[in-house]
Structure 1
Amino acid sequence: MCLFWLSGCGETDEPVPPASVRVMTYNIEDVRTQDLRRTDHPRLKQAAARIQALSPDILLVNEMTYDQPGAPGYESGDPEGLNAQRFVENYLSTPQADTLEGVTYQTVMLPVNTGLSSGYDLNNDGRVVTEVPTVPPSPENGRVAQQTAQGRAYGNDAWGFGTFPGQYGMALFVRNDLEILRDSIRTFRFFPWSQMPNAAEPIDSASGEPWYTPDEWQSFRLSSKSHWDVPVRLPDGTVVHVLASHPTPPAFDGTAQRNARRNHDEIQFWVDYLDGAAYIEDDSSRSGGLADDASFVVVGDLNADPDDQGVYRQAIRELVSHGRVHGGPAPTASPAGQAAFPSLDPNDTARWGSRVDYVLPSATLSIDTSGVWRPVSRDTTAVSASDHFPVWVDVHPRS
């Protein structure tokens, strides 16, 4: 019998093309530690069923809390960053329907900037809010927890908006027979925004002065969550760099456009990384961008739509059209999925009508197929797993 990734099985056999690897991104809205400690959370059971049905080999989940001290549900003495594994153990490994099979993954979960106190008055309201407020528990019915005024006040002075440390984190799930090159992971959580050439520094339109003080601007971190470069070796030996992030939404903004400008530059970072920009320095003080010959996939909720004429500047358009990015068509919904959401464009990945979630393979990878998963019926009374749809692309290394 032929093995999946071998180039051939016998002298008379034709070469077998490399098998596809499915890469998927899914924003599961505001998943918290206490949700993951349960085994019966309605939204997580529904999300796990989606994942089991689509069966990605590499999956990025956005908005999963990085469990750490100061976060609700974290128990003193526990190691940090266990929530991704909890999702595997409590949901993904258990079939969520008779027609589905459980799946298991290796996980990567690393610290993020969201909900970490900056010690500065970043929203310029005259207060420096550094104490994590009381966080209301997640609703028992599985719906998304509501924010409070106290939580927003704290989050607006944090390095990345979050009402508690680790909220809206990221988690990477990798099929067990793929190899995560953990010693080669690069993170850019601490990279100062001010070190980016031509940074889109927010300006107070009323005074014409910079929004942030000189001390704040020198300390301000570009990543609202983090930027990760996680190399994964495929069974044929090809290494694919998973470039994961979740830029801040370009909304909830004042006239200084703090979030729109930051969103732009968080995306611009990946454009520059692919260009090998010398200014880039990771959290281990290693300089430079991605090697010219490296294969990669850019994944995550980038919170920007290239078709949105109101998008701040051009970073998202530059990224999707970059010379190193595969120029294939954007993933789209199936005809049935489109019929269920006729007001959306076929490539919209969010229920409010935007393409914000991306799997962008490098030109060194061939695309076999892709899609945006949408339910084919709309039950307005049910708890929805997320306000985003899963997006996936099947790729294989070019021979």
Structure 2
Amino acid sequence: MAACLIALATAASTETIRIANYNTDLSQKGPGLLLRDILAPSPQVANVTRTIATHQPDVLVLQDMDWDLKGAAVHALQTQLKQVGTDMPYAYVPPSNTGLPMGIDMDADGKTGGPRDTQGYGRFPGQGSIAILSRLPIDEDAVQEFHALLWKDIASPKLLEKLLPPEAIATQRLASVFMAAVPIETAAGPLWVLTHHATPPVFDGPEDRNGHRNAAENLFWLQYLDGTFGTRDNAPFVIASQLNIDPIRGEGHKETLSTLLSDPRLQDPFATGPSEDHHTAAFDSVGKLRLAYLLPSSQLNVSAKGHSADPALRPDQTHSRHRLIWIDVEIPD
């Protein structure tokens, strides 16, 4: 009888949470257009909503969602999701570095007002940002934001002298979109979602500025876990990010990604299984790549994992080029 009671107590002290990471591909070329498409809704928004509802996440990190000051687009998407049976009443909608003017000619085209002359590529402030939706409460008072962290605070001056215009070194931020550690309130205690969207390691010159920035953004969370930035405790976490680099194919600093994935403080649930099924995106030019990641802390038990349908198999362009990826984690009390 005592053994049975202990077993029941142990079972009751864990909570299973489904966490998803999804690059929606919903970003628009002008402010306010995303809200218009959600209210319509457009075929692409309808497909994104359907994909989310199919997998029923408890916590959802949305990549490539345009930011607006009042969070109108995200709140409209919450309404659409609720109508199809996916109620995620809590949202974290942070400001973004995308489209934030620097007043510097970053791409050497003789102008200072282009989308590449900003803290992170963007035609307007907030283009292609990040949002978190949740069925569970988000402790916004405890969120740790790192969007204002400067690149020079973690990189050597000699490296940045090779990568940036001299006048940009003092103001260039590390995050091309956003970086934050966001605590989700669960019955078993807080679960931290660590999220960012790294710049693609392409679209630059021989100096490899974007490749170096991608590597620095992706390694940031190891410094966070080391206690160099922010405040860490022993609570479980999941890195839910668009790392924008494939372990084998495409461009980027593969050794940096290997350093992250091999860190003993986290695990890679998608490292096992058929390698051809690891991809999270499909492009006509470069094929299938693994760009989105869910990396839970080592103390979490991953009880299930999966993807949405392969975007390469879709016959039209109304779906995202990216797959929704999800994991079920058991959070110990």
TM beyond 0.5: yes
Map of 2:169 onto structure 1: 217
Amino acid across the alignment from 2:107: N
Are 2:316 and 1:320 aligned?
no
Whether the 8 Å contact between 1:348 and 1:354 is mirrored in structure 2 is: yes
Map of 1:301 onto structure 2: 242
Amino acid across the alignment from 1:347: H
2:170 is paired with a residue of what secondary structure?
helix
Amino acid across the alignment from 1:87: L
Map of 1:183 onto structure 2: 141
1:314 is paired with a residue of what secondary structure?
helix
Are 2:287 and 1:358 aligned?
no
Map of 1:127 onto structure 2: 111
In 1: Cα distance, 2:15 partner to 2:149 partner: 37
Distance change in 2, residues 1:92/1:213 (3 Å)? same
Whether the 8 Å contact between 2:24 and 2:64 is mirrored in structure 1 is: yes
Amino acid across the alignment from 1:168: G
Write the deviation string for residues 132-180 of structure 1: whole angstroms up to 9, x where unpaired: xxxxxxxxxxxxxxxxxxxxxx1110110011111011110011xx221
Displacement after TM superposition at 1:117 (Å): 0.8
1:345 is paired with a residue of what secondary structure?
helix
Displacement after TM superposition at 1:327 (Å): 5.0
In 2: Cα distance, 1:383 partner to 1:309 partner: 22
Q: Number of aligned pairs?
A: 319
Within a 5 Å distance, the mapping from 1:375-386 to structure 2 comes to: 375=310, 378-380=313-315, 382-386=316-320
Map of 1:228 onto structure 2: 180
Whether the 8 Å contact between 1:272 and 1:289 is mirrored in structure 2 is: no
Map of 2:63 onto structure 1: 62
2:45 is paired with a residue of what secondary structure?
helix
Pick one of 12, 16, 19 that aligns with 1:20. 16
Whether the 8 Å contact between 1:192 and 1:219 is mirrored in structure 2 is: yes
Amino acid across the alignment from 1:256: E
* TM-score, normalization by structure 2: 0.88
Whether the 8 Å contact between 1:332 and 1:348 is mirrored in structure 2 is: no
In 1: Cα distance, 2:7 partner to 2:152 partner: 57
Map of 2:302 onto structure 1: 367
Whether the 8 Å contact between 2:138 and 2:183 is mirrored in structure 1 is: yes
Whether the 8 Å contact between 2:106 and 2:165 is mirrored in structure 1 is: no
Whether the 8 Å contact between 2:164 and 2:209 is mirrored in structure 1 is: no
Are 2:72 and 1:82 aligned?
yes
In 2: Cα distance, 1:393 partner to 1:124 partner: 43
Displacement after TM superposition at 1:118 (Å): 0.6
1:171 is paired with a residue of what secondary structure?
strand
Displacement after TM superposition at 1:188 (Å): 0.8
1:325 is paired with a residue of what secondary structure?
coil
Pick one of 130, 134, 141 that aligns with 1:174. 134
Whether the 8 Å contact between 2:269 and 2:305 is mirrored in structure 1 is: no
In 2: Cα distance, 1:83 partner to 1:331 partner: 37
Which has the larger helix fraction?
2
Map of 1:74 onto structure 2: none
Distance change in 2, residues 1:85/1:246 (3 Å)? same
Whether the 8 Å contact between 1:242 and 1:296 is mirrored in structure 2 is: yes
2:271 is paired with a residue of what secondary structure?
coil
In 1: Cα distance, 2:33 partner to 2:169 partner: 35
Distance change in 2, residues 1:396/1:198 (3 Å)? farther
Unpaired stretches in structure 1, ≥5 consecutive residues:
1-9, 69-79, 96-100, 130-153, 204-209, 281-287, 334-343
In 1: Cα distance, 2:320 partner to 2:125 partner: 21
* TM-score, normalization by structure 1: 0.74
Distance change in 2, residues 1:156/1:332 (3 Å)? farther
In 1: Cα distance, 2:8 partner to 2:182 partner: 34
In 1: Cα distance, 2:242 partner to 2:311 partner: 23
Whether the 8 Å contact between 2:311 and 2:320 is mirrored in structure 1 is: no
1:14 is paired with a residue of what secondary structure?
helix
What RMSD over aligned residues (CA atoms) do the two structures have, in Å?
A: 2.4
Displacement after TM superposition at 1:42 (Å): 0.6
In 2: Cα distance, 1:377 partner to 1:252 partner: 23
1:218 is paired with a residue of what secondary structure?
coil
Amino acid across the alignment from 2:257: I
Map of 1:285 onto structure 2: none
Whether the 8 Å contact between 1:63 and 1:170 is mirrored in structure 2 is: yes
Whether the 8 Å contact between 1:247 and 1:303 is mirrored in structure 2 is: yes
Map of 2:279 onto structure 1: 348
Which has the larger strand fraction?
2
Pick one of 290, 303, 314 that aligns with 2:232. 290
Are 2:52 and 1:51 aligned?
yes
| Bigger Cα Rg | 1
